[in-house]
A and B are shown apart, each in its own frame.
Chain A
C-alpha cells in the first residue's frame, strides 16, 4: 500500500479512537437519532396535527398542506436551522475542538513530526478528520429523516441529502477558525470559546445587516409611495381652493389671517396633511441615505466573513418551492389573503427577499470558502513554520 494512503488511514483511525475515547462522538450520534425519532413522532392528518398516537384536532391539517410538505417544512424549519445548525454544531465543535490542540501538545507532536509525513499533509488530514466525523453525524441524521419521509409521507426525497454538503460547509467555516485558534493557543477550551464567540459575531452581523436592509427598503418603499401621496394631497388642496374661490371666500392662513390670492404656501395652508406628507418624504430620503450607508458598511464586513445563514438557506432554496408552500409562508409571516398585496410590510419583505435572492450560490459559497481558505492557509503556514 502506498505510504500516503497508509498514513492517512492511520490518522483517520487514530482520530476515530480519540473521539471514541471522549464518548462525545457517540453521545452526539445518539442525540442525532433521538432528533430523528422526534421528527418521526410528529405528523399531520385530515383531522389535525399528531404527536405519536395522539391527534390534536385543528386547522393545521392536510387541507392546509400535504404530508410531504409538512415533513419537508419540519426538516427545513426545525431539523436544519435548529438541530443541525445550533445543537448538533455545538456538540460537533465540542467533540472536535481538541483535534488540533491535542496534535500540537508537547510530547505528542514530536514523534509524529519525526515520521516521513509532510507538515502540510499532516495538518490538513487532521483538519479533514474533524469534518469527516461531523459529516458522519449529518449523514446519520439525513438518512433518518429520509426514511421518515419515505415511511410517513410515502415520498422519496433525495434532496434531503443536500444537507450533508451544505451543513458540512457551514461547519467547516467554524472549524477552520477553531483549528487556527487551537493551533495558536494550544488550548481546546480557548479554541471552543473563541469559535463560539466568532459564530455569535457572524450571527449578529447577519441580523444587523437584515435589520439595516429592512429599514433601507422600508425607507425606499416610503420614497416610492411619497410622490403619489403628495400629488393626491395637492389635488385635494387645489380642489378646495377652487371651491373657496367659487364661493368667493378667502383662503385661510395658518394663523387665521386670509392669504393673498396666489400665495406660495396656499396649498399647505388649506391642507396641513400635504405639509406632513412632504416632510415625511424628506425624512424618508434622509432615512434611506442613512440606512444605505450603514448597510453598505456592514455588507463590506460581511463580504469577507463566512455566510453562515445564507449557506444554510441554500437548502430551502433547493428543497422546497413556493408552490408547495402555498399561502403558508404568508400565514407564518402574519400576512393573510385579506391583506392588501400592496401593503408596505409585504412589499418591504418582498424587496428584502429580492436582495437576498440576488446573492448567488457562487457568491455565498465563494466568499465563505474564500474566508475558510485564508484562515486555513494561515493556520497551515503557522504549523509549517513553527518549531515544536
Chain B
C-alpha cells in the first residue's frame, strides 16, 4: 500500500523544558481514514503541526506525500483544519475559501467553482455573503472543513473537526468524511470523540505523553480482547467449564468462579456452537449470546492507564519522565 505519511523518531522539545514528542513513529496509507487519539497534551496537535511545517521538530525522519518533512511543495496537496482556528472575521465564507484556495495555488476559475461547490457540501451556501464574525462556532467549523478541501487535497488533516458542532452537524461531517474516503482521499483525524472515530476510521493510533502507544486497525488493537460472550441464567460450575473447554478444542475459554458469564476468544460463530451445545446438554439455560469487543473508549482508557503515571494530562517535563 502506498504510504502518505511515513515518519519515524519524531522528537520535539519546547524550549528545553517540555518534551512534547518522544520518538514517534507513524505510517498512514493512501485512502485510509486514520484516527489519532490521546488525552489532552499527549502531543497530537504538535505531531500534526510538525507534519505541516508549523512547528519545527527537534528530530524527524520521513516523508509526507513522498516529500521530505519540511518541504513546502508537499503542502500543495494537503488540506488542514486546525483545532483552534481563527479565520479572518472580516471575510465572508466565500472570500475565506477563495483566499485559502489562492494560497494553495488553485487557479481563479477553479477556485470560484470549488468555493461554491464546497459551500454546498457543508450546507453554508445561504451564508456565503455573510462575514465570519456573525457565524456560530459550528458554522465556522463547517467553513474550516470547506477551506481544508479547497485545493482538492490528497491528504486531509482535520484536528477536532466536530468540536463545537451539534449532533446534526456531526452527522454531516461524518458523511463528508465517508465521501472523502470514497473519493480515495486519505483522511487524518485528531479527535477526542472516540465514538465518532470508531464509526469512520480504518486505523487508529493512541498517543500518550508524546509516545505512540498503539497503532493499527480496531480489530488488530482489540485482538485477544474480543470474542463471544455467553451468559447463563444461573452461575456456571467448574465441571461445565471443563466440558466446554474440551468441546472447543483450542479456543481460549475464560470464566470467573461463581460467575454466569463465559468469554470465548474467537470471532468464528461456527466454532462457538459446540460450547452452546455442551452447556444446553448440561441443562444450562442461556440468557444471551453475542460477539463483544472492547470499545475504542475502553482501549483508550486502557492505554492511558497503562502509561507510567496514569492518565495525567499534559506533556512531560524534561527529566521528570524516562525516555521511551
The answer to the question of B135 belonging to the interface, with a C-beta cut-off of 8 Å to chain A, is no
Contact partner of B52 among A1, A3, A13, A114, CB < 8 A?
Answer: A114
Contact partner of A387 among B14, B88, B91, B104, CB < 8 A?
Answer: B14
Contact partner of B49 among A14, A21, A107, A110, CB < 8 A?
Answer: A110
With contacts defined as CB atoms under 8 Å apart, how many contacts are there between chain A and chain B in the complex? 87
Q: What distance in Å separates the Cβ of B149 from its nearest Cβ neighbour in chain A?
A: 13
Interface size, chain B (Cβ < 8 Å)? 33
Contact partner of B75 among A10, A105, A116, A388, CB < 8 A?
Answer: A116
Note all chain A residues with C-beta closer than 8 A to B74. Answer: 116
Q: What distance in Å separates the Cβ of B81 from its nearest Cβ neighbour in chain A?
A: 8
Do residues A106 and B104 form an inter-chain contact, with CB atoms below 8 A?
Answer: no
Do residues B99 and A107 form an inter-chain contact, with CB atoms below 8 A?
Answer: no
The answer to the question of A378 belonging to the interface, with a C-beta cut-off of 8 Å to chain B, is no
Assess A14 versus B104: contact at CB under 8 Å? Given A111-B80, A387-B54: no
Do residues B90 and A107 form an inter-chain contact, with CB atoms below 8 A?
Answer: no
Q: Which residues of B contact A (CB under 8 A)?
A: 14, 49, 52-56, 72-76, 78, 80-82, 84-88, 90-91, 95, 99-100, 102-105, 107-108, 147
Do residues B99 and A10 form an inter-chain contact, with CB atoms below 8 A?
Answer: yes
Do residues A112 and B103 form an inter-chain contact, with CB atoms below 8 A?
Answer: yes
Do residues B105 and A385 form an inter-chain contact, with CB atoms below 8 A?
Answer: no
Main secondary structure of the interface of A (DSSP, over half): helix
By beta carbon, the residue of chain A nearest B98 is A10
Do residues A115 and B103 form an inter-chain contact, with CB atoms below 8 A?
Answer: yes
Note all chain A residues with C-beta closer than 8 A to B55. Answer: 387-388
Query: Closest 9 CB pairs between A and B?
Result: A107-B86, A21-B90, A10-B102, A3-B105, A110-B82, A114-B52, A115-B103, A114-B80, A387-B55
Interface size, chain A (Cβ < 8 Å)? 29
Assess A108 versus B80: contact at CB under 8 Å? Given A17-B91, A17-B95, A115-B100: no
Interface residues of A in 255-288 (CB under 8 A from B): none
The answer to the question of A332 belonging to the interface, with a C-beta cut-off of 8 Å to chain B, is no
The answer to the question of A18 belonging to the interface, with a C-beta cut-off of 8 Å to chain B, is yes
Interface residues of A in 1-53 (CB under 8 A from B): 1, 3, 6-7, 9-10, 13-14, 17-18, 20-21
Q: Could you tell me the distance between the alpha carbons of A3 and B106 in the complex, rounded to whole angstroms?
A: 8
Contact partner of A6 among B49, B78, B84, B102, CB < 8 A?
Answer: B102
Task: Give 18 new A-B contacts, CB below 8 A, not counting A9-B102, A17-B90, A115-B75.
Answer: A7-B102, A7-B103, A10-B99, A21-B90, A111-B80, A111-B100, A113-B52, A113-B53, A113-B54, A114-B53, A114-B54, A116-B72, A116-B74, A385-B56, A387-B14, A387-B49, A387-B55, A388-B55
The answer to the question of A349 belonging to the interface, with a C-beta cut-off of 8 Å to chain B, is no
Q: Which residues of A contact B (CB under 8 A)?
A: 1, 3, 6-7, 9-10, 13-14, 17-18, 20-21, 105-118, 385, 387-388
Do residues A111 and B72 form an inter-chain contact, with CB atoms below 8 A?
Answer: no
Note all chain A residues with C-beta closer than 8 A to B52. Answer: 110, 113-114
Q: Could you tell me the distance between the alpha carbons of A131 and B15 in the complex, rounded to whole angstroms?
A: 34
Note all chain A residues with C-beta closer than 8 A to B102. Answer: 6-7, 9-10
By beta carbon, the residue of chain B nearest A10 is B102
Q: Could you tell me the distance between the alpha carbons of A52 and B53 in the complex, rounded to whole angstroms?
A: 61
Q: Could you tell me the distance between the alpha carbons of A20 and B165 in the complex, rounded to whole angstroms?
A: 31
Note all chain B residues with C-beta closer than 8 A to A117. Answer: 72, 103
By beta carbon, the residue of chain B nearest A108 is B86
Assess A387 versus B56: contact at CB under 8 Å? Given A14-B88, A17-B90, A117-B72: yes
Do residues B105 and A114 form an inter-chain contact, with CB atoms below 8 A?
Answer: no
Do residues A10 and B103 form an inter-chain contact, with CB atoms below 8 A?
Answer: yes
Note all chain A residues with C-beta closer than 8 A to B53. Answer: 113-114
Q: What distance in Å separates the Cβ of A120 from its nearest Cβ neighbour in chain B?
A: 11
Q: What distance in Å separates the Cβ of B145 from its nearest Cβ neighbour in chain A?
A: 12
Q: Could you tell me the distance between the alpha carbons of A109 and B80 in the complex, rounded to whole angstroms?
A: 12
Note all chain A residues with C-beta closer than 8 A to B49. Answer: 110, 387-388
